[in-house]
Structure 1
Amino acid sequence: MSLAGALLAAVDVGAACADGVRDSQWPLVNYKAESTIWPVSQGEGIVVAVIDSGVLKDHQDLTGQVLSGADLSGENTDGTVDDNGHGTGMASLIAGHGHGGGSGIMGLAPKAKILPIRISWGENDATADLGLPRAIRFAVDHGAKVVNMSIGGYPSGAPGIREAVAYAVDKDVVLVAGTGNSGDRQGAVEHPAAFPGVVAVGAVDRNGLHWAKSSSGPETTLVAPGADIPRASAKSTAGHGIANGTSDSTAYVSATAALIRAKYPNLSAGQVINRMIRSATPPASGEAVPNDRYGHGLLSPARALEPNAAVDGGPRENPLLGRAESQGAPTAPSVGGAWEEPAPGPGAVAGGNRGVTYTVLGAAGVVVVGGGVVGAVLVVRRRRRVTAAAAGGYQGCPPPQQQWPPGRG
């Protein structure tokens, strides 16, 4: 299992941008979030579970947004600490509120709440795969209406995950996961994204074109911004970085699901997914959709929030349940262990060993930590696959674009 978009290209966005971090968030600029999205919905009242490395609750762009969750990694936390930074980054893209004077990271759904569920990334931890099904069930049972899984690399027959996905679908929860960052392996959308019922999200760049490392396959549902993405870092309570990956695009789709659920609370999860699919915009490449690279097209939050009686009055069932898995389902249903309820807060699960292994990816990336610069980018590696893209050479503040996708309304 891997982080589907770990800190692959985190670069200094500090002094050179003054506090231009907000202006550098090109997805918000391109989506015209301030003028077309937030007047309609900001995700109020919606809980989004982030199953990941934890979420730093004290980050200045997330204060007050992070609920007490669970730690299934075996450490004594409530999910609100993050020694990797990946989960904090995802939470900031979903529900970040920035900080004084229009500075810092804003999420696409800035009034949603984050339920952090920390799972093990242990390379040699035999119980690591069991954390995901427990995390999904915990999220559902603790009020999450959307579950963000910016993770990948699980086998299709991993114990209990298929059943946990079915449980969440039956409980009317929107599940979102990244297709993966192994773009050279065509037709290989990773699990859990490939499970029927899960919104499988690929990544595009600022020009609306397929990001080269984004995994492709027939399960791809949508694509969203996933290249040169500013997000919060857990290196400090004021840390920021820039990253690439389908993790980031997954977070934008989860945030959009939260926006829709806040605006239209009577819609089923299936109708929310249908809204995102039917409102998607064809890619700038001109390719016909749906296809393996772009799915049904580019996520369009503003269009997804527009009144649509045809979708809202349609079937309430999840439209992705009948989707075939290109890599094949297991010959027999996987059997999960007995569901054991982890209590929220410290001590949710005792024992265990995270066994995290870190790999340094090049020297192009630097992260600002307390005013200093660390010249190494760390990502988690698991035994199955390293889904790491090379660090990019991007420096400074990205120039904004005025419409999304480029050349289209």
Structure 2
Amino acid sequence: MAKGLISTWPETRHRLCIWHIFQNAAIHLSHVFESFKQFANDFSKCVYDFDEEEDFISEWNTMLKKYGLEDNDWLKRMFEIKEKWALVYGRETFCADMTTTQRSESMNSVIKRYVTYKNKFHEFFNHFERLVDDRRYKELKADFRAYMSTPVLPFDVDVLKQAASVYTPEVFKWFEIEWGKSYDCGIITYSEVGTVTEYKITPKGRKNYHMVRFDSIGDQISCSCKKFEFYGILCSHSLKVLNIRNIMKIPSQYIIKSWTNKAKAGYVKDHNCCNINNDLDPKVLFTKRYRDLCRLYTQLVTKAAQAEETYKIAKEGLLKILDLVDARLHQEGSSNEMSNATKVSNPTNNTTNASGINIKAYRRYYKYCIYEVQYATTWITRGVVVQFHASMIFRASVQVDKRPENLTEIDNGTFRASQN
């Protein structure tokens, strides 16, 4: 799987589930856990506690020597892939603080309530749409509660007021915890050069400290724990520094849109789809354009369906776009009509059955539908909310010269497989 991820998404960071790491450790090192009660804490420190690679390696070697595990094969193998599980590596990559596969497995259990391996192809679509509808309804209820309620503030301070007004209720709870922990942190000024000041921040009950760097030009702040880069909210160490610098609000550059009440506002751009190389294979180009348009279409209809006025605006606009697209396609089709007719009539290029159905095209159509379903399901099982509509798959992926007999048109341009 790791090789497939690298080849498909070269910029993606592949990490191992920490929960499974501990489960495997309990199996391979059961005798150590039973003999030494402190070993669990020392192993946990290596996983979680260090900001610098040198400190992690030093503590790892100390642990091996302390418990006589220098020749343990499992620990040797784990150290070779340390970049995939030790949190000292990869903190600069945004992961929404996910270090386990719990969210993915939770979504898997939700999907299993709606679909089974016994479902036929068209049954899968029906049940899958029910799942998406239920998830969207829960999302709407959460949005309604967020708009109609305000979190109760433990103290009447500006930073909490700001956080409560911009963050969703769930994210505000995370921020409130970090803000509370900041008051238990010790702080020492380490160095000051020009507009840049560095501080040593020591959390309560910890020996290790974190380095926080603050630049008064633009209120730029960074912490060695990299919680903002990894989680998306400022850590307690950074909040401690902002407090002593008399900065009573979160700098705007440290409020990411994904965690705010306005996360759905605007257009979500996909830079990978915007830069389409026309030198690619035509099928690849079609797939890229199709995905990009489907994403835009889903964003549009989700917003437009909320009110009658926006529904009418969207419908009128889409009808105009359809007319323009049809006219353009008709114009291009007329110039290529003779060449297309020759290809269809040529038995070496097209294999048809007695009913005149293009068998190769039918197979292309079927494989394309299967691919799109798997693509959408994969992202949902990773805990990402994907706005998916089955009819969109059929609407954009009909590539056959003649529609297969077991497909019936249920709407303008929308097809559904019928039972045999």
Higher helix share: 2
Give the alignment's TM-score, normalised by structure 2.
0.19
Higher strand content, 1 or 2: 1
Which is bigger in relative contact order (C-alpha 8 A, separation at least 6)? Answer: 1
Higher alpha-carbon Rg: 2
